[in-house]
Amino acid sequence: MKNRIWIIIFSVTVLVCTAVWIGLSFFPSPSKIVGIYQNGSLVEKVDLTAQTGERSIELNGDYGKNIISVTHGRIEMKSADCPDKLCVKHGELKSAGSPIVCLPNRIVIKFENQSGSADAEAGALL
């Protein structure tokens, strides 16, 4: 195939994927129920709207301790002992499209579907 065809294929792919990514990242989650997972299993479900004051959740993994902070309507990874700290740099959990992930300690923080049960079942199957 000619170079021009590949340039078109790649450009279109980049545009489509960027659009999907932006859509997923900036579309705020309708649900305010957050699931905290470690090693693929649910550790805790938190209703962000029900939270008053600040609360810390500590999780221990292979690479040390992670501290999750929950305040009203907001959840974030406050500190982590993992080598890359990408989970901390992620900041506040804003959309279903970009869960907070700590790969070294295998922690995932993400919005649950309003029903929640379908997700939990899918997780349990894996």
Partner 1 sequence: MKQTKTKKLILTAILTAAALVAFTIEAAIPPLTPIYGIKLGIANVFTLFTLYAVGKPYAAAVLFLRITLGSIFTGQLVSFIYSLTGGVLSFLLMLLLRRFFPVKQLWVLSALCAVMHNAGQLAAAMLMTSTVQLIYYLPVLIVSGIIAGVFTGLCAQLVLLRMNTEKLILGG
Q: Which residues bind Zn ion (CB under 5 A)?
A: 80, 82, 87, 102
Residue 80: name its binding partner from Zn ion, partner 1, none (Cβ under 5 to 8 Å by kind): Zn ion
CA 70 to chain centre: 14
Closest approach, Cβ 101 to Zn ion, in A, equals 8
CA 95 to chain centre: 8
Closest approach, Cβ 73 to partner 1, in A, equals 21
Distance of alpha carbon 106 from alpha carbon 38, whole angstroms: 6
Residue 98 contacts partner 1 per CB under 8 A: yes
Residue ranges of E strands in the chain = 33-38, 41-47, 55-61, 64-71, 74-80, 100-102, 107-111
Q: Looking at beta carbons only, is 32 or 100 nearer to Zn ion? A: 100
Q: Looking at beta carbons only, is 102 or 109 nearer to Zn ion? A: 102
